Amino acid sequence: MTEITLATRQLLYGHGEALCDPLDFACAAGEVCAVLGANGRGKTSLLQTLIGTLPALGGTVHCTGGIGFVPQEFTSAFAYRVFDIVLMGRAAQVGLLRMPDRRDDSIVREALEALHIAPLADRPFHSLSGGQRQLVLMARALATQSRLLVLDEPASALDLFNQQAVLQLIRRLAREQGISVLFTTHDPSHAALAADNTLLLLPQRQWLFGATGEVLGEENLQQAYGVTVKQINVTHQGRDYSLLAPLFDVPKR
């Protein structure tokens, strides 16, 4: 029987007023789920509700095995090393009355190795590129040893190379470590490349959830974003790819 890591039942979320009709969706172990929608649909509010920083207005959220959260950005007034930033992920396990021990250090190093950034361990966090910082924050979430990773727009501020690296990493973590990954994005192509299932937030508080290939249809995306989106099938180096491209009506000069 498939282990369900995250499940919502009739969930209502928002700041005083529900942003979505009662929401039911689930994320299983080893599965990647994307949350997709235009600005103002409540993607960040939903994540805040799932991780417990924003109280639900109704319904329930059930999570098994804890949540490791990766924000869009992280800044610090102190010159922490990468190792120290990842070690912060152990805070809940270490507690207030003891210091990190060898086991905690070992878990941090394993997280750095899993993301192939162990050589950065002694580098100041503030000296890293945007892509490197995102990987460090993901390592910090891994160090919690949670069964669910929740990422808030992990590729939004990255160049094309680092977007690909982060999306590939998300798939690899789910496949190799059997954890669940849920991430928000503005870009339908990110969901198409990385997600097994997608939650699409629509106007008038409507939503769709299901297999990514079915949810990300042209009509659904046009309804979600108000622009025409076309699916383009291409073959590259012997592999077939399905791309989603918006068609913007830009007047010629």
What per-residue confidence (pLDDT) applies to 78?
81
pLDDT per residue over 32-48, tens digit each?
Answer: 999 999 888 999 999 99
Residue 188: count other Cβ atoms within 10 Å of its Cβ: 25
CB 125 within 8 A of CB 85: yes
What mean pLDDT is reported for the chain?
89
Strand order of the β-sheet with 67-70 is 67-70, 148-151, 180-185, 32-36, 197-201, 207-211
**Section 96-109 average pLDDT:** 80
Distance from C-alpha of 194 to C-alpha of 36, rounded to nearest angstrom: 12
Spell out the domains of the chain, with CATH numbers in brackets: 1-66+146-218 (3.40.50.300), 76-145 (no CATH)
Distance from C-alpha of 164 to C-alpha of 1, rounded to nearest angstrom: 32
What per-residue confidence (pLDDT) applies to 165?
85
pTM, two decimals, is: 0.88
138 to 83, 226, 228: CA distances (angstroms): 13, 33, 34
Per-residue 3-state assignment (H helix, E strand, C coil) for 11-54: EECCCCCCCCCCEEEEEECCCEEEEECCCCCCHHHHHHHHHCCC
Distance from C-alpha of 31 to C-alpha of 14, rounded to nearest angstrom: 26
Q: Is residue 144 pLDDT above 80, yes or no?
A: yes
Contacts of 236 (CB under 8 A, 6+ apart): none
Residue 136: count other Cβ atoms within 10 Å of its Cβ: 26
- Assign 156 to helix, strand or coil: coil
Strands 58-63 and 4-12, by their bridges, are antiparallel
Distance from C-alpha of 252 to C-alpha of 231, rounded to nearest angstrom: 24
pLDDT per residue over 191-232, tens digit each?
Answer: 998 999 999 999 999 999 999 999 999 999 999 998 888 888
**Section 98-126 average pLDDT:** 89
Exposure on the CB side of residue 218, measured as CA atoms within 13 A? 10
CB 8 within 8 A of CB 31: no
